[in-house]
Amino acid sequence: MVAQNIAFGIVAAIMVWGALRVVTVKNVVHAALWLVLVLAGAAAQYVILAAEFVAITQVLVYIGAVMVLFLFGTMLTRARIGAEQELNNNSWWLGVPSAGILLGVITLALVSGFGDEELPKDAAVVTTQEISDQIFGPYLLPFWALSFVLLVAVIGAIVLARKD
Amino acid sequence: MLVNQFLILAAVLFCIGVYGVIARRNAVMVLMSIELILNSVNLNLIAFALRNGSVDGHIFALYIIAVAAAEVGVGLALVLLVYRNRKSIGLEELSEMKG
């Protein structure tokens, strides 16, 4: 289990560093590229947690589709490619105590709630078959609802973004 | 592996995302921070799925990924519309609904 912990530590450090860069960097395109690093790190954590199908979906949907959307959005709103000075609010410093207090409270709750409980060792990798058995079995109705959500989102995005 | 190491990593990412939502002025940057928040929730769900030995957490994570993709699509369409009408995507200029 030591190898998993080392992998976790390295990936976690990269993810936290990337996330900090996403919210502090002065350039929108660079922020999008740092976000790619965080999303790839999340995919690696899913592999460590024996969730291969979710990891692959993360890479396909987030790194593939969502990042392209973000880069297109950045381009179409003509954000300058260079650094921007006015990327933060005037009251941006209020976010530091808010996020700090939130982190403190959540960490306190987690430490008192789970302590040093271990994850089950040598757990079997969850296969795609098990996931599809669940989706097309007990979770079929939410799956239909999700299909409609996607349809409505696509139509809504087209209606909003087209030029009359 | 402890349960808490994944949960605390997710909490750190969540709080960084919250900071980004509060601090950023550019609407696209706020959407990126929201993606950070959604990802931390997914990490939590997968960790709990392994802890409980159940597949339900994976299903929830997949549904959240799909909803997040829809959210980004609609959100960027809205940002595009705002940009077309105002030539700016600064969030502090959208203050019509301020009391």
Report the gap between the CA of A142 and the closest CA in chain B (Å): 9
Q: What is the pLDDT of residue A73?
A: 86
Report the gap between the CA of A25 and the closest CA in chain B (Å): 10
C-alpha torsion angle, residues A7, B6, A39, A4 (rounded to 10): 20
Q: Considering chain A, what percentage of its residues have pLDDT values greater than 90? A: 62
Question: How many structural domains compose chain B?
Answer: 1
Cβ contact A58:B65 at 8 Å:
yes
Q: What is the pLDDT of residue B96?
A: 79
Residue A151 in 3-state DSSP?
A: helix
Which two tokens mark A23? 């919210």
Domain membership of residue B95 (yes or no) is no
Q: In chain A, whose CA is at the least distance from the CA of B58? A: A54
| Per-residue pLDDT at A91 exceeds 90 | no
Q: What is the pLDDT of residue B97?
A: 78
| Per-residue pLDDT at A79 exceeds 70 | no
Q: Inter-chain contact B28–A131, Cβ cutoff 8 Å?
A: no
Domain membership of residue B92 (yes or no) is no
Which residue range forms the structural domain that includes residue B33?
26-87
Domain membership of residue B68 (yes or no) is yes
Domain membership of residue B10 (yes or no) is no
Domain membership of residue B32 (yes or no) is yes
Domain membership of residue B47 (yes or no) is yes
Domain membership of residue B3 (yes or no) is no
Q: What is the pLDDT of residue A84?
A: 64
Tens digits of residue pLDDT in B30-89 = 999 999 999 999 999 999 999 998 899 999 999 999 999 999 999 999 888 888 888 777
Phi and psi at A116, nearest 5°, equal: -115, 50
Domain membership of residue B71 (yes or no) is yes
Q: What is the pLDDT of residue B33?
A: 94
Mean pLDDT of A105-124: 88
Q: What is the pLDDT of residue A61?
A: 93
**Chain B, 21-50: which have a CB under 8 Å from a chain A CB?**
21-26, 28-29, 31-33, 35-36, 39, 42-43, 46-47, 49-50
Q: State how far the Cα of B6 lies from the Cα of B22, in Å rounded to an integer.
A: 25
